[in-house]
Structure 1
Amino acid sequence: MENYQTLLYYCYSPIAEAEQFAADHLKFCKSLGLTGRIIVADEGLNGTVSGTKASCAAYMDAVHADERFAKTEFKIDEVAEPSFIKMHCRYKSEIVHSGLRDPNIINPNVQTGKHLEPVEFQKMIDQEDVIILDVRSNYEHNLGRFKNAVTLDIENFRDFPEKINELAKYKDKKVLTYCTGGIKCEKASALLLHHGFSDVYQLHGGIIKYGKEAGGEDFEGKCYVFDNRIAVDINTVNPKVVSTCYNCGKVTPKMINCANPECNEHITQCDDCGESLEGCCSVICTTNPRKRPYDGTGYYVKVPQPVKARL
């Protein structure tokens, strides 16, 4: 029985004294018994939290009661157990790291691509003058992506601005951007508009909302999520596995992070290679003395790296 919920959300809304807000918000979340990961910045909130249905309801009510975040949309998943072990709420320079911090150039509250609801997005994706653009990182779109999507060779979203020139050939097309929950598209679509793309759209609520409201049709593979679940199913209409094992090339839907904590690489890996490599991405990683025991899941909580002594 699924007695817990996991909430995915973001809100671009200026926060005064955001660093103090983050400390106070952490205490509040802990008082509700929530676990999760929240990023607070001067520009707003970005979080995934998990807990009992009652705790999640109380949290959503509290966020909506603050006029700064009244417009926040929550994507709600019913889960069998909390999707995190601990509760973190940290202050950072951006709620999604892009390196685009000049509000005169990129400000999602002023200009972004046209928001498409899932059903609208679904109707447009097969049109001839449309390009579907995945703005996520390699390990995310390797696991799952929309059929015929243009993917970018980027390790992190902060690499996205460097790819604008590669995308220039699509300036005369309708560009439909998408990501997990919508937050990256707010800045990605704004940057495209800034660079002269005239017809830019974004999937409102991202892949997660698309799965809930449009059945996930034509999303191939699974969707990477930033919690203990690692990946979730999206497509209930015409599902297809598109990811292959990093080690042997066999088709597999399984995503892991390397058992060597000093590597922690996100890869797709079949169970056979997981067993033979003890949850590592390579033979050399199996020799690391800090290697974590492989339990078959391939998920490990990130651990602090040892501090190197200064010379």
Structure 2
Amino acid sequence: MALHNRVSATELKERLALETFKRVTISFYQYAKITDPKAFRDQLYTTLNNLGTFGRIYVANEGINAQISVPEHNFEAFKDALYGVDFLNGIRLNIAVDDDGKSFYVLKIKVRDKIVADGIEDPTFDMANRGKYLDAKSFNELTNDPDTVIVDMRNHYEFEVGHFENAIEVPSDTFREQLPMAVDMLSEQKDKNIIMYCTGGIRCEKASAYMLHHGFKNVFHLEGGIIEYTNKAKEQGLPVKFKGKNFVFDDRLGERISDDVISHCHQCGEPCDAHTNCANDGCHLLFIQCESCASKYDACCSEECKEVHALPLEEQVELRKGVVKGLMFNKSRRRSIQQ
């Protein structure tokens, strides 16, 4: 059996569109010592592929990080297979809050140096010494304490469309930069309660360990991140303190948590929180665009990209040669796309 996909993206998307069953979008992670990530990866690919699983999974010596979709009728079989792995037995599964079942169309499992690129080279750093978990109820209670600082450990483009009330942004678009920045920003508040949070828990868990490593005492991290918090808060009838959209790294690009729209179209400035990628494949910039500007610019980020996108495909391909794709929107690029 092939341990990688061999079918074109176009055909895979067509197959997904024709599916008559529901899918469940799930994310999970676990910090654990995996002695042979390649062998584990291959075994996992076989198991999940047989269950019709799509998604993106990273495996490393330090553990696993996964965002996937599973056919609803295979969900229990998926859980049984996952829990059959010793270090994954009973692992928390974050179920998507706002799910259309079309989050992924192919299964990709990659071996990486780390499941979260952190830039940490200090051999004395120990993930076993991490902050205390906070569930939804405890999070709400502790955030009411004036001696509590809430720190968002996500990227700028994630924070922009949604975040917790009174949360501090660490203004960077890479986690490796955010870690030392968070230490510097909070250096005068080491005696306060520091709560770290992120999308599903993987980044804030490592961030909590990093803060403790640098002398902070009262460090907490939100169990299961925004996804688990929202699900539990709604189940328990608690106030949901997250405002706006939760950015997610799949084809949905976001799941709505509250009706608040706290960001603006990057082209006209009107209230909007719909992320999209520039339709010019030579750019593919991630940015926020309202429906009016999508029509005006043909789903592109600028007049220049609109002109390129209107060219015959052969000319576009010629122009793209040597161009790096996959640019992510950040503060440094914001003014360059506003009209």
Which range, TM-score by smaller chain? 0.7 to 0.9
Corresponding residue for residue 179 of structure 1 = 198
- Between 213-222 and 1-10, report the one with greater CA deviation: 1-10
Matched, 1:40 2:63: no
**Paired residues for 1:77-88 under 5 Å:** 77=96, 79-88=99-108
Spell out, residue by residue over 1:80-108, the C-alpha distance to the aligned partner (whole angstroms, 9 max, x if none).
4332011100000111111225553142x
Corresponding residue for residue 30 of structure 1 = 49
Which of residues 247, 264, 269 is equivalent to 1:249?
269
Corresponding residue for residue 97 of structure 1 = 117
Q: What's the TM-score once normalised by structure 2's chain length?
A: 0.80
Which of residues 242, 257, 260 is equivalent to 1:219?
242
How many residues matched? 292
CA contact under 8 A between 2:272 and 2:290: conserved in structure 1? Answer: yes
CA contact under 8 A between 1:39 and 1:45: conserved in structure 2? Answer: yes
Cα distance change on mapping 1:14 and 1:274 into 2, 3 Å: same
- Report the alpha carbon displacement of residue 62 of structure 1 after superposing the two structures with TM: 1.0
Corresponding residue for residue 298 of structure 1 = none
- Report the alpha carbon displacement of residue 156 of structure 1 after superposing the two structures with TM: 1.7
- Report the alpha carbon displacement of residue 21 of structure 1 after superposing the two structures with TM: 1.7
Task: Output the CA distance in 1 between the equivalents of 2:187 and 2:275.
Answer: 32
CA contact under 8 A between 1:255 and 1:268: conserved in structure 2? Answer: yes
Query: Match for 1:149: what amino acid?
Result: A
Corresponding residue for residue 154 of structure 1 = 172
- Between 73-82 and 51-60, report the one with greater CA deviation: 73-82
Percent of residue pairs identical? 33
Q: Say which SS state the counterpart of residue 84 (structure 1) adopts.
A: coil
- Report the alpha carbon displacement of residue 172 of structure 1 after superposing the two structures with TM: 2.4
Task: Output the CA distance in 1 between the equivalents of 2:34 and 2:90.
Answer: 14
Task: Output the CA distance in 1 between the equivalents of 2:284 and 2:301.
Answer: 9
Which of residues 143, 148, 157 is equivalent to 1:125?
143
Q: Say which SS state the counterpart of residue 220 (structure 1) adopts.
A: strand
CA contact under 8 A between 1:38 and 1:88: conserved in structure 2? Answer: yes
Larger Rg: 2
Spell out, residue by residue over 1:120-170, the C-alpha distance to the aligned partner (whole angstroms, 9 max, x if none).
101121221011100000110011001111001111212112302122132
Q: Say which SS state the counterpart of residue 48 (structure 1) adopts.
A: strand
Cα distance change on mapping 1:266 and 1:292 into 2, 3 Å: farther
Task: Output the CA distance in 1 between the equivalents of 2:262 and 2:231.
Answer: 21
Q: Say which SS state the counterpart of residue 39 (structure 1) adopts.
A: strand
CA contact under 8 A between 1:2 and 1:80: conserved in structure 2? Answer: no
**Paired residues for 1:1-311 under 5 Å:** 3-77=22-96, 79-100=99-120, 102=122, 104-107=124-127, 110-163=128-181, 164-215=183-234, 217-235=240-258, 239-288=259-308
- Report the alpha carbon displacement of residue 74 of structure 1 after superposing the two structures with TM: 0.3
CA contact under 8 A between 2:21 and 2:72: conserved in structure 1? Answer: no
- Between 190-199 and 156-165, report the one with greater CA deviation: 156-165
Cα distance change on mapping 1:292 and 1:175 into 2, 3 Å: farther
Query: Match for 1:127: what amino acid?
Result: D
Query: Match for 1:276: what amino acid?
Result: K
CA contact under 8 A between 1:255 and 1:266: conserved in structure 2? Answer: yes
- Report the alpha carbon displacement of residue 265 of structure 1 after superposing the two structures with TM: 2.4
Q: Say which SS state the counterpart of residue 130 (structure 2) adopts.
A: coil
Q: What's the TM-score once normalised by structure 1's chain length?
A: 0.87
- Report the alpha carbon displacement of residue 281 of structure 1 after superposing the two structures with TM: 2.0
- Report the alpha carbon displacement of residue 15 of structure 1 after superposing the two structures with TM: 0.9
Query: Match for 2:274: what amino acid?
Result: K
CA contact under 8 A between 2:150 and 2:196: conserved in structure 1? Answer: yes
Cα distance change on mapping 1:192 and 1:29 into 2, 3 Å: same
- Report the alpha carbon displacement of residue 171 of structure 1 after superposing the two structures with TM: 1.6
Judging by fraction of residues, say which structure has more helix.
2
Cα distance change on mapping 1:210 and 1:291 into 2, 3 Å: farther
Query: Match for 1:41: what amino acid?
Result: A
Unpaired stretches in structure 2, ≥5 consecutive residues: 1-19, 314-319, 324-339
Query: Match for 2:104: what amino acid?
Result: F
Task: Output the CA distance in 1 between the equivalents of 2:72 and 2:185.
Answer: 45
Spell out, residue by residue over 1:31-82, the C-alpha distance to the aligned partner (whole angstroms, 9 max, x if none).
1111100010111111011121132322221111111211421012384433
Task: Output the CA distance in 2 between the equivalents of 1:231 and 1:267.
Answer: 12
Task: Output the CA distance in 1 between the equivalents of 2:131 and 2:295.
Answer: 45
- Report the alpha carbon displacement of residue 247 of structure 1 after superposing the two structures with TM: 1.3
